[in-house]
A and B are shown apart, each in its own frame.
Chain A
Amino acid sequence: MSAGRPQGRSLAPYALAGPFVIVFIIFVVVPLARAGVLALQQTYGPQAAEFVLFGNFAQLARDPLFWRAIANTLVFTAASVFIQLPLALGLAMLLNRPGLRGRGIYRLIFFSPQLMGMVFVATLASIVFEKRSGLLNQALHWAFGVSLDFPWLQTYVMPTLIITTLWMYVGFNMVYFLAALQNVDKSLLEAASIDGAGPWAKFRHVTLPAIRPVGSFVVLLSIIGSLQLFELPYVMLNATAGPANRGLTIVMYLYQSGFEVGDLGYASAIGWVLALMLVGFAIVQARLARTEV
């Protein structure tokens, strides 16, 4: 037993937690506090700043572009929750059939688009939806003889974005649902069958309650991710918000305000609105998850 040990023990926690705590304070706590100050300022680049107090928020409230961004983002979020997640659950239920061959391979295939980062998916997708050379138009032309010149990306901005994220995320969310489904008590399902429950009744009263915790986690994750959509439209639309700003999202507007216009204050104000929306959605979602059966 060395004499220095008791003291060494009392310092050790700081040595272990230290690197994290220091970096956390400098790069999370400090920026968070400064985001509060910045939101009350107008800046021109990183240096010059003047206080406008709540002027940024007042400006946001009557900024049609900001409302446009919110509307677009909410449409996208709704599509994620009400189109993408049911598809993911359906796919997981198909894969969860007892004794299904090749489940591992199917799971890997459906999950694989997730390995491609958003930027790279955006690059691929923008060419898939391109006129003339795009896969979609070439396939439609080959199958139905329709014109090669239909500009999908320019005509249907939001639907193209939603279809692209379906490809990317249905398999990802399916992995969660599949893991949850495999934990559903089989004897309960059998008991329900013996009691004469049909497939829908079994799904509604046995499966759905059992996968609820995972389900609400996936819903929350999906909402959080969708509200922060940025790279996909930004890269697909070549660093623009698309025709008539139909691809403008909240984070894209934050980026444009802060780093193209140079007003970090306005960008921070948008950031706070985003944070409030996230917290609001999380609270509502937690309430719904508890009450509804």
Chain B
Amino acid sequence: MGQKRTSTLTAVAAHAALIPLALLTLVPFVWLVIASLKNTDDFFSSMFLPLTGEMITLSIGQLSISLPEVAWDRLTLANYSRLFFELGIGRALLNSIFLSSTTALLATLCSAAGGYALARLRFTGRKVITTAVLAALIIPPPLLLAPTYQLLYELGLLNTFTGLILPAIAPAFGVFLFRQATIQSVPKDLIEAARIDGCSEIGIFFSIVLPLVRPMVGAFMLITFLATWNNFVWPQVVLQSSDKFPLSVAVSQLKGVYRQDYGLLMAGTVVSVLPPAMLFMLLQKEFISGLTAGAVKG
């Protein structure tokens, strides 16, 4: 009995610590969404929802509480309509969707095929490539920023989507992950059996290997999608014309021009954050498993 009571007490203590921290984590999100729906005056005069200045009294049975009245009718979608109809943020949204999904798809396909080939196929150059991939894991991307810019300039790929997508579709990290995944979950015997049955090597990859490493396919695609969506430096360096900007660059430019227009900036942030957040909520399990796979299984 005594044991049980202390454990209930410590459970209460744990929640007493966790609930305020959870609220602290969520408050900026709530503030962001409400701020995006306010006009400039209300932005300055109210912390969260705009108030009428009147008090309303709620009576629940004997209990009555006085609360400041919320001016719901002052909340407005004006910031959003300005973003889409005057500032053309829809274009940036489409650019982000296109860049992120294309990069995610191609990078996953390239990495899965490369990782499988390095793990299970024999060919000349395999050892060299494997070593190069492992070595490339420690290269900090900023080191390649200047030479890649120069290379894209020479190839005539500056200010093109190709120049942004192409360097991102062969990530050493992805090949490394898929090589590990293949070693862990694609039995050699199965591949041998398929070969004896007359299945082509490409057929084996698509119909046997890909389904077996499916958890990694899902996780890596999602990780790449989010990373591309949130990427700022590369599009900032590679792209020049504003009709090509993804949301990351477009919003940071808005911030430069409309510095004091807080509601507008918050609306731009909401538009930028909502699509990947929804995608994540849908595919949450795959993401967490992919995130921790490398760390826990080693």
Contacts and interface: CB of A to CB of B under 8 A. Distances in A.
A96 to B, nearest CB: 10
B123 interface: yes
Interface stretch (B52-60, B69-77, B111-119): B111-119
In terms of DSSP, what is the predominant structure of the interface of chain A?
helix
A82 to B, nearest CB: 19
Contact of B142 (A91, A101, A116, A251): A251
B170 A278 contact: no
Contacts of B243: none
Contact of A28 (B117, B150, B172, B201): B172
Interface residues of A, number: 97
A99 B10 CA distance: 11
Nearest to A213: B298
A233 interface: no
Contact of A259 (B110, B237, B292): B237
Given A32-B143, A94-B18, A118-B232, A258 B262 contact: no
Contacts of B172: 24, 28
B14 interface: yes
Contacts of B132: 24, 29
Task: Tell me which of A47, A127, A213, A279 has the highest count of chain B C-beta atoms within 10 A of its own C-beta.
Answer: A127
A218 interface: yes
Contacts of B14: 94, 97, 100
Contacts of A15: 201-202
Interface in B244-298: 248, 251-252, 255-256, 259, 262, 265-266, 268-269, 272-273, 276-277, 280, 284, 288, 291-292, 295-296, 298
Contacts of A123: 251-252, 255, 265-266, 268-269
B28 interface: yes
Given A24-B136, A251-B142, A91 B123 contact: no
Contacts of B118: 17
Given A19-B113, A21-B170, 9 more contacts: A16-B117, A16-B201, A17-B113, A97-B14, A108-B284, A117-B229, A135-B27, A213-B295, A231-B232
Q: Please provide the 10 A-B residue pairs with the shortest distance between their CB atoms, ordered closest to farther.
A: A117-B230, A12-B201, A20-B114, A271-B143, A23-B170, A17-B117, A13-B123, A34-B147, A27-B167, A31-B147
8 contacts: A15-B202, A31-B148, A97-B14, A113-B28, A115-B276, A120-B272, A251-B142, A279-B138
